[in-house]
Amino acid sequence: MSRKILLVAMFAVLFGVFATSMIELETLFNTYGKTYFLEHGYAETGASNLVTAILLDYRLFDSLFEAGILLIAVSGVIWISKHDVEEKNAKFMIDKYKTPDLFITFARLVYPLMLAFGFYVIINGHISPGGGFQGGAIVATAILILYYIDANKETNIGLIVTVEKILYLLIVLMASISIITQGAFFTNFFNPSADADLKAIYLVLLNVLIGFKVALGLWTIFTAFLKEGR
């Protein structure tokens, strides 16, 4: 009990300081970044979705490692989930509950729609809300619905992981082409003054690669968890 009181007291202090600083911020607020992106964002990157412009051009270096984190997590989760050490308490559950028929029927109906929506979000990432990461997650969800339809579905994880790694290599390669054409790493390989339609080629290609990579990565992670349940 005493530790809870202590906690709440500490939280009160922190909250007070935070509230003061937020009130201060309302007068000190700096909009340099915002105005910059509004004025130059479209002209420099060719993406009318400024979030995509930042993710795939201004801060591409971050996005590469964001994809890298997913890559590491996939390999890590697979490595940890392998059973080659003796585990006393491992109880393997069999799927006792059958998925309801209604759900299966609707899932079959919805599955192609979700897939199509995922691809739409990936491909149109530079002009409408979305992009590789978001669309990849949607595609992965669509694939995961298949497991509800058929719980015993077998997946070749090894192959997926290999493809995922190759995709990551491609993304890095794609991002560094600009060192040849522009003289700087990690930007669009077309000149900043080029036509927006031309620059969109790069954005769509990169979005598609990232989208597939994310989808495969999330799929693998889910499969690893599913195996634990079986």
Binding residues among 92-131 for other proteins as defined by CB under 8 A: 127-129, 131
Residue 142 contacts other proteins per CB under 8 A? no
Tokens found for residue 76: 């890590």
Residue 195 contacts other proteins per CB under 8 A? no
Shortest gap between Cβ of 210 and other proteins (angstroms)? 11
Residue 207 contacts other proteins per CB under 8 A? no
Q: What is the end-to-end Cα distance of the chain in Å, rounded?
A: 41
The C-alpha angle with vertex 219 and arms to 213 and 223, in degrees rounded to 5, equals 145
Residue 157 contacts other proteins per CB under 8 A? no
Cβ–Cβ < 8 Å for 118, 142: yes
CA-nearest of 118, 127, 108 to 219 is 118
Contacting residue, 55, 138, 215, 216, with other proteins by CB under 8 A: 55
Shortest gap between Cβ of 90 and other proteins (angstroms)? 4
Residue 228 contacts other proteins per CB under 8 A? yes
CB contact set of 226 (below 8 Å; sequence gap of 6+): 147
Cβ–Cβ < 8 Å for 64, 171: yes
Tell me, what DSSP letter sits at residue 30?
-
Contacting residue, 96, 109, 183, 193, with other proteins by CB under 8 A: 183
Nearer to other proteins, 150 or 195 (CB): 195
Nearer to other proteins, 172 or 194 (CB): 172
Residue 191 contacts other proteins per CB under 8 A? no
CA-nearest of 160, 152, 162, 170 to 67 is 170
Contacting residue, 200, 221, 226, 230, with other proteins by CB under 8 A: 221
Sole window of 86-94, 109-117, 149-157, 200-208 interacting with other proteins (rule: CB under 8 A): 86-94
Shortest gap between Cβ of 105 and other proteins (angstroms)? 30
Place of tokens 């109906």: 109
Residue 160 contacts other proteins per CB under 8 A? no
Shortest gap between Cβ of 106 and other proteins (angstroms)? 26
d(CA 40, CA 46): 10
d(CA 227, CA 147): 12
Total interface residues for other proteins by CB under 8 A:
91
Site for other proteins in 7-26 (CB under 8 A): 7, 10-11, 13-15, 17-22, 24-26
d(CA 211, CA 202): 14
